[in-house]
Amino acid sequence: MKITTTLITALSLATTPVLASDVVRISGWGGNDLVVVNSLLNEVLADDIRAAGITVRYEPVEGDFAQYLTNALSAGTAADVFYVDSFWGAPLFRSGAIAPVSNANQAVADALIPALNEAFMYNGQLMGLAKDFNTLALQFNKDIFDDAGVAYPTMDDTWHDFRSKLQAVSTNLGDVHGICVVPDYARFAAFALGTGWSPFNEQGHTVLDDRFRDAFEFYTTLPDQGAGVMAADVGQGWMGGCFGDETTAVAIEGSWISGFLRDQAPSMQYGTVGIPVHPGTGERGNLIFTVSWSVANDSQVKDSAHKLIELLMSPKAQQWVLESGLALPSRESLGNNPYFNGTGQEAEISRVVFNGASDGYVEPFAFAQYGGDWKSIMDEALGAALLKERTIDDAIRHAQQQFDRLTGR
Site for other proteins in 388-407 (CB under 8 A): 389-390
Region class of 53: left (phi > 0), else alpha (psi between -120 and 50), else beta: left
Segment lying near other proteins (by CB under 8 A), choices 5-13, 213-221, 338-346, 381-389: 381-389
State whether residue 24 is helix, strand or coil: strand
Q: Which residues of 297-309 are buried (b: 16+ CB within 10 A; e: fewer)?
A: eebebbebbbbbb
Cβ(404)–Cβ(377) below 8 Å = no
Parallel, antiparallel, or unpaired for β 228-230 and 179-181?
A: parallel
Q: Which of 161, 217, 233, 332 binds other proteins (CB under 8 A)?
A: 233
Q: Which of 28, 240, 276, 383 binds other proteins (CB under 8 A)?
A: 383
Segment lying near other proteins (by CB under 8 A), choices 226-234, 253-261, 316-324, 347-355: 226-234
What's the min distance (Å) between Cβ of 78 and other proteins? 12
Looking at 177-330, which runs of residues are DSSP E strands? 179-181, 228-230, 250-253, 270-273, 285-296, 328-329
Q: Which of 21, 77, 95, 391 binds other proteins (CB under 8 A)?
A: 95
Site for other proteins in 182-201 (CB under 8 A): 183-184
Q: Which is nearer to other proteins, 156 or 373 (CB)?
A: 373
What's the min distance (Å) between Cβ of 168 and other proteins? 25
73 in contact with other proteins (CB under 8 A) = yes
In sequence order, which ranges of 253-391 are alpha helices (DSSP H)?
256-264, 302-312, 315-324, 345-356, 372-386
Strand partners, 331: 112
30 Cβ contact list (under 8 Å, min separation 6): 60, 61, 62
The 338-377 contact track toward other proteins, x by CB under 8 A, reads ----------------------------xx-xxxxx-xx-
230 in contact with other proteins (CB under 8 A) = yes
Site for other proteins in 234-263 (CB under 8 A): 234-235, 237
What's the min distance (Å) between Cβ of 395 and other proteins? 10
CA distance 390 to 106: 49
What's the min distance (Å) between Cβ of 68 and other proteins? 10
From the list 192, 217, 230, 209, the residue with the least C-alpha distance to 365 is: 192
From the list 106, 126, 110, the residue with the least C-alpha distance to 118 is: 126
Interface contacts to other proteins, rule CB under 8 A? 66-67, 70-71, 73-74, 87-88, 90-91, 94-97, 183-184, 230, 232-235, 237, 366-367, 369-373, 375-376, 379-380, 383-384, 387, 389-390
